[in-house]
Amino acid sequence: MSTQIPKQTDESSETDVDAEVASKGDERRDEKRRRAAEERARRQAEEAEKADDDEETIELKVFRYDPEIEGKQEPRFDTFHVPFTKGMTVLDALMYSRDTYDSSLTFRHSCRQAVCGSDAMFVNGGQKLACKTQIADLEEPIRVEPLPHADVRKDLVVDLEHFYDQMESVEPYFQTNEYPDGELEEQRQTRENREKIKMSTRCIWCSACMSSCNVAAGDNEYLGPAAINKAYRFAMDEREGEDIKQQRLEIIEQEHGVWRCQTQFSCTEVCPKDIPLTEHIQELKREAVKNNLKFW
Amino acid sequence: MHEHDVIVVGAGGAGLRAAIAAQEAGADVAIVSKLHPVRSHTGAAEGGINAALRDADSWQDHAYDTMKGSDYLGDAPAVEALCQESPEEVIQLEHWGMPFSREEDGRVSQRPFGGLSFPRTTYAGAETGHQMLHTMYEQVVKRGITVYDEWHVMELAVTDEDDPADRTCHGVVAYDIQSGEVSGFRAENGVILATGGMGQVFDHTTNAVANTGDGVAMAYRAGVPMEDMEFIQFHPTTLPSTGVLISEGVRGEGGILYNEDGERFMFEHGYANNDGELASRDVVSRAELTEVNEGRGIEDEYVHLDMRHLGEERILDRLENILHLAEDFEGADGLTEPMPVKPGQHYAMGGIETNEFGETAIGGLYAAGECACASVHGANRLGGNALPELIVFGKRAGRHAAGEEMGEAEITTGKDGDWEAADYEFDVAVGETGGQGPAAADGGAVATDPDGVLEAEVERAKARIEDLLARKGRNHAEIRSKVQKTMTANVNVFREEGRLEETLGDLREARESYKDVAVSDPSRTFNTDLIHTMETRNILDIAEALTMGALARREFRGAHWRKERQERDDENWLKHTLVSWNDGEPELWYKPTILEGENKTYEPKSRSY
């Protein structure tokens, strides 16, 4: 997994833009290569020594299930041994297991950098994004399971339809009646207001929060932390007008809205983007109360 | 069977914008995507959107910068469309609620970016793509546009007349990843490909695992040429261990590159005496690798990007996301130490040949975004020009496909205009390997009857899947890995004939191996083994065409550097590379670049920064 510099195979293939610079560079490079080789040899010896004491491979216990394949219809755990490399993440280990041992091992993943939100799973008993969870930080054997409180489709893949439905139920789109007059005019927004909504706009729809929430587990109609956060993102945006804010507060005040939250902070703890979800829910509760008083 | 007026394949920035535009123009539109829209890789774009929004700036200056950045391989009608329409598209996004970073007076912020004569890169922190993607998906939800997510599009339903110019596209065949169902999607008006990048052709890339160039390969096999595929952007600042992108915004805000000796090499070694770190991306990538090759790299692999002097407040305000990425994926704390960076595959300037409305050589088939080549980026894309391309050309393709009258295109497609055959003999065989199996030629060769072609393609796709599941053979992963390794080793920032030929040989072997490919997971439920196996076929076709173009182009232009001739050769090479599949016998040909704009001609000048 690295970009290789084209290796010079023989003398004649050297770049000859500036022979002097090149030859100086060569000398230096050779010297560095010698130094690097020595350093590598030393490090390898060190690591080999360490490997005698430590495990050089890591043990991964992965949940397996496939509704239509005999032998996988009963959920089970498969064990994979993966050679450890520095910086290895749970996603790296899963990909290695799939590409090396069992190509039917199934999990969602795409960007590998914690922005697509595809690979939330249950790792050693916590909701994590596999791509940003370092193996070195985990106790072995590492237990990898699909997100709790969602139907399992296969292996680590869960059904997200319900999550998407909740997200889309809060009118998750910008609404305003007023735009500036000029043809190429943006609406104005203060830095403070942008800062206020900033964290809420970072949601990547991974559904880790929903999976961690006891209330959502017991009440299937509960909007859940992510959807309420989405509502917060718009309700707090000063570019939307007051009447629209009113409408938004009505949505989150519904029976299965903000008042269901029992401020257990589990959503906030698992959020891979550090969104203060519980605070946002609490703030919406306060807004709703203030708003109701206004109409008394 | 599903039926809509317009089918959009892919749900990233270009796909979503195309769908919104088609719907606004009155079409019944549906999006078919192998990922749920919010998973698309547009979300990983960090830096920003170039748009001439301010009085002191102008679209003409933006166009000039873009043509210069393209090393005069951009086509002026497309470049000018990008620069003229980007401002209104940015304002449109703002009116859809996109949370841009703001100035004191409440207007959207803009910052300097490489190769730009004015700080016109509009941004939302270092997560501009994420905000743009989510903002547009919100609008898709608002409009109730149908999205078939986790449906992998396998092939296009294109008629099989001899001349690709006579062929027409009538829909797509897709595989439901969740259930294993194969279904046809009939498009009354048009199919828009918006499948994004093809970074998985390489093994050190900023691209997502899903970026396998599916749309490019499908269009290619159906008869649309791939254009300028040899022009691959290697981003100068990616994290060495994973390829995760560190935004150009870091350098835009004042970040500095140092070699092992602590020298600010962009200046001290004369790579870009004026612009330094903010020279065009290809210039900076080559400078970094030259430093490493000459022994001044750190651990013989990378250089340092230092932003500590910007101060914690400014970093947290404008580049906070970078701190998280460096910490999570490289263990580096950008506030207290420099970050290790090296060049990594980032963007494909080339792609499906289109005109400035997104039309391809095949009737009813469009392309927009990174998978397309209009061309706005030519031989090198400027930072901040990808996101505006998605929205400007996504919108254009959507409107055109929905039937809006948009006038006569100036850019020709296929062999409609001037063209010349390549004068190049490849030592290695290319194209179809012969015989049956998953590597056998495919494309539009099933029916000429517009009504029957979709059904026929569905049947063929079903047979292909049954075959892949039933046969015994080798796993695709080793083939894919071999392709990625040879591409990264030999078709990288520095290119030379012998090594390119070596890669073409490796690709031939990979094609032969692919004849024996098989899927070992027999399940119809979420069979990613099957999806990845089909993607690997696409990677193979693209890698081959890319390498062919790189071998034949014996000059140094933009991102394409050739050891044998280290200078731009306008006399012989001021032209686009095209590769046509021709039902299994790839053909290399060329067409002229269009330098005549609306009111001016962009005369090629030396590109120094």
Residues B260 and B227 in one domain: no
Residue A28: predicted pLDDT: 63
Note whether A223 and A171 are within 8 A (CB): no
Residue from the list B97, B289, B525 with its beta carbon closest to the beta carbon of A5: B289
Residues B201 and B144 in one domain: yes
Residue A291: predicted pLDDT: 87
End position of a domain, from candidates B342, B367, B388: B342
Q: Chain B window 343-382: which residues touch A at a Cβ cutoff of 8 Å?
A: 343-345
Instruction: Check CB contact under 8 Å for A5 and B494.
Output: yes
Instruction: Check CB contact under 8 Å for B40 and A190.
Output: no
Closest Cα in chain A, distance from residue B524 (Å): 8
Residue from the list A110, A115, A153 with its beta carbon closest to the beta carbon of B178: A153
Residue B131: predicted pLDDT: 98
Residue B153: predicted pLDDT: 98
Q: Both tokens of residue B581?
A: 């599949």
Closest Cα in chain A, distance from residue B550 (Å): 15
Long-range contacts of A20-29 (CB under 8 A, 24+ apart): A21/B294, A22/B294, A24/B294, A25/B293, A25/B294, A25/B295, A28/B294, A28/B295, A28/B296, A29/B293, A29/B294, A29/B295, A29/B300
Give Cα separations from B111 to B49, B114, B273, B439 (angstroms): 10, 10, 21, 48
Q: How many structural domains compose chain B?
A: 2
Q: Residues B38-63: what's their mean pLDDT?
A: 97
Residue A17: predicted pLDDT: 39
Q: Both tokens of residue B191?
A: 């199919």
pLDDT above 90 coverage of chain B, percent? 91
Residues B300 and B398 in one domain: no
pLDDT at B136 over 90: yes
For residue B363, give the 3-state DSSP assignment.
strand
- Taking the Cβ of residue B488 and every Cβ of chain A, the question of whether any pair is shorter than 8 Å is answered with yes
Q: Please name the residues in contact with B343: beta carbons below 8 A apart, sequence gap of 6 or more.
A: A3, B234, B235, B236, B238, B285, B288, B289, B493
Q: Chain A window 162-201: which residues touch B at a Cβ cutoff of 8 Å?
A: 164, 168, 171-174, 176, 179, 183-191, 194, 197-198, 201
The residue written with tokens 């951009």 in the block is: B74
Residue B449: predicted pLDDT: 80
pLDDT at B441 over 60: no
Q: Chain B window 557-586: which residues touch A at a Cβ cutoff of 8 Å?
A: 563, 566
Considering the segment(s) A161-176+190-294 as one domain, its CATH architecture is: Orthogonal Bundle (1.10)
Among positive and negative, which fits the CA dihedral B582, B584, B588, B591?
Answer: positive
Note whether B345 and B291 are within 8 A (CB): no
Q: Both tokens of residue B9?
A: 């394949």
Residues B381 and B306 in one domain: no
Instruction: Check CB contact under 8 Å for A110 and B35.
Output: yes
Residue A13: predicted pLDDT: 37
- Number of Cβ atoms within 10 Å of the Cβ of B160: 19
Residue B148: predicted pLDDT: 98
Note whether B501 and A132 are within 8 A (CB): no
End position of a domain, from candidates B322, B342, B362: B342
Instruction: Check CB contact under 8 Å for A2 and B208.
Output: no
CA nearest neighbour of B176 among B524, B409, B476: B524
Cα gap B391→B360, rounded to integer Å: 18
Residue from the list B241, B242, B522 with its beta carbon closest to the beta carbon of A69: B522
Residue from the list A9, A115, A237 with its beta carbon closest to the beta carbon of B43: A115
Could you tell me the residue ranges of all domains in chain A? 57-158, 161-176+190-294
* Chain B residues closer than 8 Å to A238 by CB: none
Detail the DSSP E strand segments found in chain A: 57-64, 76-83, 120-123, 126-129, 142-145, 152-154, 157-158
Q: Residues B67-90: what's their mean pLDDT?
A: 97
- Taking the Cβ of residue A83 and every Cβ of chain B, the question of whether any pair is shorter than 8 Å is answered with no
Q: What's the N-to-C CA distance of chain A in angstroms? A: 64
A-to-B residue pairs, Cβ atoms closer than 8 angstroms: 215
- 3-state percent breakdown (helix, strand, coil) of chain B, nearest 5: 35, 20, 45
pLDDT tens per residue, range B477-507: 999 999 999 999 999 999 999 999 999 999 9
Residues B331 and B363 in one domain: no
Residues B164 and B242 in one domain: no
* Chain A residues closer than 8 Å to B566 by CB: 17
Report pTM.
0.92
Residue A294: predicted pLDDT: 77
- Number of Cβ atoms within 10 Å of the Cβ of A155: 29
Residues B202 and B129 in one domain: yes
Q: Both tokens of residue A25?
A: 């560079």
pLDDT at B592 over 80: yes
Please report which confidence band the pLDDT of residue B462 belongs to, taking 50, 70 and 90 as the band edges. very high
Residue B241: predicted pLDDT: 86
- Taking the Cβ of residue B529 and every Cβ of chain A, the question of whether any pair is shorter than 8 Å is answered with yes
Computed over every residue of chain B, the mean pLDDT equals 95
Cα gap B440→B447, rounded to integer Å: 17
Question: Is there a catalytic annotation at residue B281?
Answer: yes
Instruction: Check CB contact under 8 Å for B489 and A21.
Output: no
Question: Tell me, what CATH number does B251's domain have?
Answer: 3.90.700.10
Note whether B149 and B11 are within 8 A (CB): yes
Residue among B17, B120, B281, B607 flagged as catalytic: B281
Q: Residues B303-317: what's their mean pLDDT?
A: 95
Q: Which of A20, A85, A116, A229 to mutate to test the interface with B (most CBs of B within 10 A)?
A: A116
Residues B207 and B326 in one domain: no
Instruction: Check CB contact under 8 Å for B127 and A28.
Output: no
Q: Both tokens of residue B361?
A: 């050589």
Residues B299 and B403 in one domain: no
- Taking the Cβ of residue A103 and every Cβ of chain B, the question of whether any pair is shorter than 8 Å is answered with yes
Cα gap B57→B568, rounded to integer Å: 30
pLDDT tens per residue, range B390-420: 999 999 999 999 999 999 999 999 999 999 9
Residue A20: predicted pLDDT: 46
Residues B334 and B396 in one domain: no
CA nearest neighbour of B575 among B587, B561, B589: B589
Instruction: Check CB contact under 8 Å for A1 and B528.
Output: no
Instruction: Check CB contact under 8 Å for B525 and A186.
Output: no
Complex ipTM tops 0.90:
yes
Q: Please name the residues in contact with B413: beta carbons below 8 A apart, sequence gap of 6 or more.
A: B353, B354, B355, B359, B360, B361
Cα gap B108→A187, rounded to integer Å: 9
Cα gap A60→B442, rounded to integer Å: 40
Cα gap B520→B473, rounded to integer Å: 8
Average pLDDT across each block of 10 residues of chain A; the chain has 296 residues. List them in order: 36 40 57 61 56 72 95 94 92 96 97 97 98 94 97 98 98 91 89 97 98 96 98 97 93 95 97 98 96 77
End position of a domain, from candidates B325, B342, B359: B342
Note whether B122 and B93 are within 8 A (CB): no
Q: Was domain A57-158 assigned CATH 2.170.130.10?
A: no
pLDDT at B445 over 70: no
Cα gap A235→B385, rounded to integer Å: 32
Are both A57-158 and A161-176+190-294 of the same fold?
Answer: no
Residues B203 and B324 in one domain: no
Q: Residues B572-586: what's their mean pLDDT?
A: 96
Between helices B386-401 and B128-143, what is the axis angle to 10°? 20
Q: Both tokens of residue B391?
A: 């929205």
pLDDT tens per residue, range B514-556: 999 999 999 999 999 999 999 999 999 999 999 999 999 999 9
pLDDT at B67 over 80: yes
Residue from the list A106, A118, A187 with its beta carbon closest to the beta carbon of B39: A118
Lowest mean pLDDT among A117-121, A180-184, B1-5, B465-469: A180-184
Question: Tell me, what CATH number does B16's domain have?
Answer: 3.50.50.60
Instruction: Print the domain residue range for B358.
Output: 1-231+349-609
